Amino acid sequence: MNLLHWIPLPVVVPLLAAALALLVEKLVPRRVIDALAVLVTAAISVECMALARVAAAQPMAYWYGQWGPAHGPVLGISFVVDSAGAGASAFIAGLFSLTFLFVWHYFEEVRAHFHALMLMFCAAMIGFCLTHDLFNIFVWFETMSVIAFALTGYRLEDAALEGALNFTVINTIGSFLMMAGVGLAYAATGALDMALVGKTLAERHADVLACGSFVLMGTAMLIKAAGVPFHFWLPDAHAVAPSPVSVIFSGVMVPVGLFGLGRLLAIVFAGIPAVVSLAHGLLVPLGAVTAIVGGFMALQQTHLKRLLAYSTVSHVGVMLAALSLVTVHGAAGWLLYMLGHGMVKAGLFMAAGMLAAVLDSVDEFELYGRARDRPVLACGYFVAALCLAGFPIGIMGSGAEAVEGAAKGVGDDWLGPIIIISSATTGGAAVRAGVRIFLGKGELPQGRSTLPEESERGDRPWLLMLLPLLVLVVANLIGGLPLERMARAAAATFVHMPAWDVLSGKQAYAAPGVPTEVGGGECSGWLALGVALVIAAAQLFAAKWLKHRVLWPAHMSIKALRVLHAGRVGDQLAWLVAGLAMLTAGVVVASVDW
Amino acid sequence: MLLRLLPWLAAAWLMAVGIYGMVTSRHYVHLIGCLSVVQSGTYVLLLAIGFVWHSGPPIFYDHPPGTPAVDPVMQALVLTDVVVGAAVSALLLALALQLHKRRNTLDPQELEPIP
């Protein structure tokens, strides 16, 4: 069977299903639409797995309307399916399927609108992962953004509005930058196919247009991926979005931004020395800073969804650093990490959503001890929190290990401790919140201010909410070993995607070799776990003592960090401009060096 | 030379003043207007990239194919950009309207942020 003609389906089918859901929403019972969404996304997930398997031998190019390179100037749009892209798509569709199970009966009042939006969201993300055309990637980027805005703000509650507005403003600026970047790339090369642009740029060497294009598109991807200093929108958006939407945001949307950055670095700008040295010289440290800022902000949160959102910032920082190494080992590491983190974080957001549904709160003090009688949920939550803290077994653990090995391989040994800090702070924060909520232990400070509370529809089947959470947590635990080799093979193709000459048929495809595993780093996982537990215990039982006696300088700097994060939309935009200026300066310095 | 640089400079200027306006904005509707200014910058940039001197529109209905014409690809991109901008502006204005209904202000400085 030729799978080539199946390539558009992962995008086309959810779009059609979205239209169908809207069309029949008044004719059929709600359950049918729920089931349709679950089944469609599950089927797409299976199909993407099959595509990933076939593409492991050789990436497959599909030209829409058969406007391929054979017909003179290249005007057509192509999807090039490699196993990393198809694998990520399979994960995306799978997570959507589980989320649809999770929201069974949730959104009765908005009828099928939620399902239609989510199905389009799924199609947009898959298109983003598979496309091989710069303008097309912008279109998916933008579709993804607009749907995300609608999903964040549609509840129109007090707390939701501002977060949704700021999220929309910041991300729209990102889209415009991306648009301008695509324009500059076209101005420099007269092409939009990624491989063709890459080839032409490599022949032209570094020039203003190419570097400018990278700065603009890179900034756009970093805004989506919430790297420091573009991350301010993320906690607001996650905190105000309904929890199933947060599941998707943290689990796949934010990491998918990094996926786009990876494509840019690996295909489009791989031939420009200034960009390559910029990635290594600036983006790796930027990732490290993101990891630390996110971690320490997570420690300060008591609103569970904000806590998890900051932890996403931190883990995205680790992924950004690994990705910017632009090596096969680095790519294997962040692919695994992305997968594992997606599962764990999605599970944790589902747990938060269940608490909001049955106990009408996601604040750890508000919920103090109130979830004692929910042992299964507690088990799921704590296992996920420990995975977040660096537990070395499972996909996320292997990912962290692989990232550390990859960093050592290129002489960036300092990245190891950064990963430990990231895991320990975010995991520590999650464990601390869990102990308060599920066990009712720990200090309970007086006179704290509470955030506006939100509740979610509670009369849903408890088992259907619990099941996806458990599936995700267990999948993360048992998936580590089987996925590790696959991730390395996928990473080899991801970093060495077929060049334009291969895609246009002038050259035969030569599969890149799959490197052997780099060992080491397992004890870092245990170390991170230990530190996380110490942090959690310290915050639970000795917070006051530590604050006044031992750690007051650290406390002051964390306070400063908090003030920095209390910015309004104008400040967030100012930071965005500063980040853009930083990248520009970086690329100027990198070109001069060369 | 200056004439050739002019659209690029105009695009950069529009984006810069738009973002400046957004950073200093005291009213969400004004902020959304500034966002449209930034977007206009991208329009100008894309049209400048696609522009070819001494050539007509890329429509070959009444003159033979092969006549010099401006680049239709860039115009297609601008069209997509316009559609996107309309969707986002509509959404933002709807959110701003709701915000005004509930909080009775649209000044970003007065809306207390969450640390």
Report ipTM (2 d.p.).
0.94
pLDDT digits (tens, 9 = 90+) for A126-169: 999 999 999 999 999 999 999 999 888 777 666 667 788 888 99
**pLDDT above 90: percentage of residues in chain A:** 46
Q: Is A62 helix (H, G, I), strand (E, B) or coil?
A: strand
pLDDT tens track for A375-404: 999 999 999 999 999 888 889 988 898 898
Q: Is the pLDDT of residue A295 over 80?
A: yes
Binning pLDDT at 50, 70 and 90, where does residue A518 land?
low
Q: What is the arithmetic mean of pLDDT over B15-33?
A: 92
Going by the DSSP 8-state scheme, the letter that residue A81 receives in this structure is E
Q: What is the mean pLDDT of residues B22-43?
A: 92
For residues A22-45, average pLDDT: 90
Note the pLDDT of residue A337: 93
Determine the residue among A144, A569, A575 to mutate to test chain B binding: the one whose Cβ has the most chain B Cβ atoms within 10 Å.
A569
- Please name which of A165, A259, A135, A586 lies closest in space to residue B42, comparing C-alpha atoms: A135
Q: Can you give the pLDDT at residue B115?
A: 46
Q: Interior CA angle at A195 toward A54 and A328, to 5°?
A: 60
Q: What is the pLDDT of residue A282?
A: 92
Is pLDDT of A87 > 90? Answer: yes
Residue A79, phi then psi, degrees to nearest 5: -105, 125
- The verdict on B103 touching A (C-beta cutoff 8 Å) is yes
Question: Which residue, among A514, A513, A509, has the nearest Cα to A60 in the 3D structure?
Answer: A509
Contact residues, A window 228-287, toward B, CB-based 8 Å cutoff: 236, 239
The CB density around residue A83, as the number of other CB atoms within 10 Å, is: 26
d(CA A454, CA A457): 10
Burial grade of A567 (CB within 10 A; 0-12, 13-18, 19 or more) = middle
Ordered by where they begin, the domains of chain B are 9-53+68-103 (1.10.287.3510)
Q: Chain A: nearest CA to B47, how far in angstroms?
A: 9
Q: Is B100 on the interface with A (CB under 8 A)?
A: no
A16-20, A208-212, B11-15, range with the lowest pLDDT: A208-212
What is the length of chain A? 594
C-alpha triplet A443, A448, A450: angle, nearest 5° = 115
Residue B1 contacts A where some CB pair is shorter than 8 Å: no
pLDDT of residue A9: 93
Q: A66-70, A133-137, B53-57 — which one is most confidently predicted on average?
A: A133-137
Confidence of residue A424 (pLDDT cuts 50, 70, 90): very high
pLDDT band at A121 (very low <50, low <70, confident <90, very high): very high
Does the beta-carbon distance from A577 to B28 stay under 8 Å?
no
Task: Tell me the C-alpha to C-alpha distance, in Å, between residue A331 and each of A253, A407, A423, A483.
Answer: 18, 11, 19, 14
**Which pLDDT tens digit goes with each residue over A320-377?**
999 998 889 999 999 999 999 999 999 999 999 999 888 888 888 888 888 888 899 9
- Average pLDDT taken over every residue of chain A: 87
pLDDT at A12: 95
pLDDT at A453: 58
Please provide residue A355's backbone torsions phi and psi, each rounded to the nearest 5 degrees: -65, -45
CA-wise closest residue to A219 among A270, A178, A180, A263: A178
Choosing among A136, A161, A236, which should be mutated to test the B contact, i.e. which has the most B CBs within 10 A? A161
Residue A67 has phi, psi (to 5 degrees) of -85, 60
From chain B residues 22-81, the ones with a CB under 8 A of any chain A CB are 22-25, 28, 31-32, 35, 38-39, 41-42, 45-46, 49, 73-74, 77, 80-81
pLDDT at A221 over 70: yes
If pLDDT is split at 50, 70 and 90, which confidence band does A571 have?
confident
- Helix/strand/coil for A78: strand
Chain B residues with CB inside 8 Å of A216's CB? Answer: none
Instruction: State which of A561-575, B34-48, B95-109 shows the largest mean pLDDT.
Output: B34-48
On chain B, the residues whose CB falls within 8 A of the CB of A569 are 22, 25, 31, 108
Q: What is the pLDDT of residue A452?
A: 56
pLDDT of B92 higher than 50: yes
| Residue B71 in this model has a pLDDT that exceeds 90 | no
Say yes or no: B108 contacts chain A, CB-CB below 8 A. Answer: yes
Q: What is the pLDDT of residues B2-17, one digit of tens each?
A: 788 899 999 999 999 9
Q: Is A156 left (phi over 0), alpha (psi -120 to 50) or beta?
A: left
Is the backbone peptide bond immediately before A229 cis, with ω within 30 degrees of 0?
Answer: yes
